[in-house]
Each structure stands twice: as C-alpha cells, then as structure tokens.
Structure 1
C-alpha cells in the first residue's frame, strides 16, 4: 500500500478548533476541490471518529475508521464500506485487507493521532496551509504542534518538500507535497 496524508492547517499548525471541529475559517473551495479530487483516486480512506470528508462521493469510498471501541477489526454497522480498526489489536495491513483493499493508495485524513501513527510510513504527505488563519487553542495536525511546526515534524520523519501549488491566491492557500526520498 502507498500511504498519502491529506490535511489543511492554519498558520499556527491547527486542523481543528478547541472543540475538535474544523473551523469555517479553514474551509476554502480550492482546497476542497483538491482534496475531493485526490480522494476520488484512492483505494481506501483512513481516519479517526471525528474526521470525515463530507463530500458527494463519501458514501462510495471504502474506509478504515480508527477506534478503540473494538478489540481488533469489525464491520461498521452503520456503513457497509467501512471497517472499524483498533491498532492495538491488528496491524494496518489486516485492517486494509478486512476492508477489501490489499494494494493501491490509502489516504490518511486525520485526526492528529491518526496522522502521527503513520509519520514513519507516508510516501507523500499533502500539507495544505492557510497562513493567514489562526486557530487559538486548537488541535495541532500532529502531537507536538505548535511547539514544533508541522514542517519540522514532517522533516524529522524523513519527508522533504518537493513541490508547492497555490490553490487560492487571494487567501494565500497552498499545498506542498512532502515526499520520502
């Protein structure tokens, strides 16, 4: 499996407000299109209980939901395309196999603990940033943010920035591909 992370963060490295929700100030149409297009091309979406993509194609996507509410692996009773996965009870590859995916691309879409779990394994991490937005008291994209920047954490995990695209020039929103050498 090829692992790719996807997130948009504020200038202070936050992906959610103090209550754990993505604030409207981090929602940009151009980033939404980038994210949606990327997820349409992956084989499985991996996320925690509060992360979701809320898009028209969301119900069609296979997914692995990280949770401590099951011992290892279980079908999600509310979504036939979802597998519930407890990392303490089964390896990631088993979760993907349970979801019917043994090769291809897994998109990791959060939250902070889920992003951190794969830091040593990402092939590419797509870091979208809205530098003019601040989310005081919010949740950082990784544990250790804001004491360390998301870029410092990605670099320390062996990823390097390879290219940056401006998604929304007026808001200065851009996405950088961080890749493993």
Structure 2
C-alpha cells in the first residue's frame, strides 16, 4: 500500500533510509511524473521539472501554480507531447505515482524501484498498483516483463528494502 484508507501516507510508512533513496533518485531525474495525490514535500521539489496528470486540461498546459510544472491529460495528448511541452526530450523520468499513474507506464519502465516495509499494515489503504491485493506487486511487475534484481536494505531495524525490477534488454 502507498497510503492509508484516507489516501494519506502515514508516518508509520516513512523511513529515513527510504526517504534518502527517494530524494537521491529524484535529484538525478530530468523529469518527475505524478498524479494529484503524490507529493514530494522536499527542499528541491520546487526546482524539479514535472508533469502533473489531470483531467482539468484538454491536452497539455502550463501549471499556473508552478512554472516548472506541465499539466497533462493523457486522453488529449501523448506522453511524448507532454514531455516536449515540459521542455524535456531526453533523459531520466521518475514516475512517482499513484497507482493509476504507475499503471500507465507499466510496459514502458526500464526499471521500477519497489520499496517494501513488511511490518507496516494499512488495511483498506491505497494499493501501489491496480490489482493489488488480489495479486502482489511483485506478481504484477513480473507479468509486465520486469525481473527482480538484488534488494538493497534501507532500514535494517524495520526490514525496509528496495528492489530494482528491470526490463530485459
């Protein structure tokens, strides 16, 4: 789960090692893609170029609230058109969610970094992908042609890890 039943990421799902990994990855990305409920809330957030998915525009538009942000309606424009509008035509794209956003890119990921906090339970929470909990996130990633790499321990005390799921070349 990404969030609790109120669609909020609770404190018990926040770990310093995971936060550091996430922050570093975003600092290395050329573009961030997310939906309405995904927030970074980090010091570098205002400096990052981003695409914000929304149905409130016909195709793409500048975000009046953030000059570094492009509003994108996937029903009205391609992802490539949204990237072009954002001024990013090559580089690393970080897709930070939510589940509908993750699902849109499932067959395009080169790598998906799946963090797992096995000691945290969020009954009725927001799943990371559509289809969870009927299938595990790992089953869904594998069904889309991604293979698990070596997990990295982010918080040994809480058994929090991140695993790269890569697409075969």
Higher relative contact order (CA 8 A, sep 6+): 1
Deviations 1:2-58 (Å, cap 9, x if unpaired)? xxxxxxxxxxxx101111111111100110000000100000000001101111100
Deviation at 1:162, TM superposition (A): 1.2
Asked if residue 21 in structure 1 is aligned to residue 8 in structure 2, the reply is: yes
TM-score (norm 2): 0.98
Aligned to 2:165: 178
Asked if residue 91 in structure 1 is aligned to residue 78 in structure 2, the reply is: yes
Aligned to 2:49: 62
Deviation at 1:98, TM superposition (A): 0.4
Deviation at 1:97, TM superposition (A): 0.7
Aligned to 1:131: 118
Structure 1: state its 5+ residue gaps: 1-13
Counterparts of 1:11-160 in structure 2, within 5 Å, are 14-160=1-147
SS of 2:80's partner is helix
Structure 2: state its 5+ residue gaps: none
Runs of 4+ in 1 over 2 A off after TM superposition: none
CA RMSD of aligned residues (A): 0.5
Deviations 1:42-78 (Å, cap 9, x if unpaired)? 0000000110111110000000000111000000000
TM-score (norm 1): 0.92
Deviation at 1:142, TM superposition (A): 0.5
- What number of residue pairs does the alignment pair up? 168
Higher strand share: 1
The 2-side partners of 1:61 and 1:55 are apart by 10
Higher helix share: 2
